[in-house]
Amino acid sequence: MTEATTQAPARTLGGLVAYLQVDGAVKAADFYKRAFGAELAFAYPPDDKGRTMHVHLYVNGSSLMLGDAYPEHGHPSVPPQGYTMQLILGDDVDAWWQRAVDAGCTVEVPLDVMFWGDRWGLLRDPFGVNWGMNAPVKKG
The C-alpha atoms of residue 84 and residue 6 are separated, in whole angstroms, by 30
| Per-residue pLDDT reduced to its tens digit, 20-77 | 999 999 999 999 999 999 999 999 999 999 999 999 999 999 999 999 999 999 888 8
Verify that 47 and 94 share a domain, yes or no: no
User: How many whole angstroms from its chain centre is CA 65?
Assistant: 9
Across residues 7-23, what is the average pLDDT? 87
- The tally of domains found in the chain comes to 2
Verify that 52 and 100 share a domain, yes or no: no
**Residue 21 domain-assigned (yes or no):** yes
Output the pLDDT for position 2: 46
The C-alpha atoms of residue 22 and residue 68 are separated, in whole angstroms, by 5
- The one-character DSSP state at 71 is G
Residue range(s) defining the domain that contains residue 20 = 14-69
The C-alpha atoms of residue 54 and residue 68 are separated, in whole angstroms, by 8
Q: What is the CATH number of the domain that holds 57?
A: 3.30.720.120
Verify that 87 and 119 share a domain, yes or no: yes
Q: What is the CATH number of the domain that holds 115?
A: 3.30.720.110
Verify that 91 and 65 share a domain, yes or no: no
**Residue 107 domain-assigned (yes or no):** yes
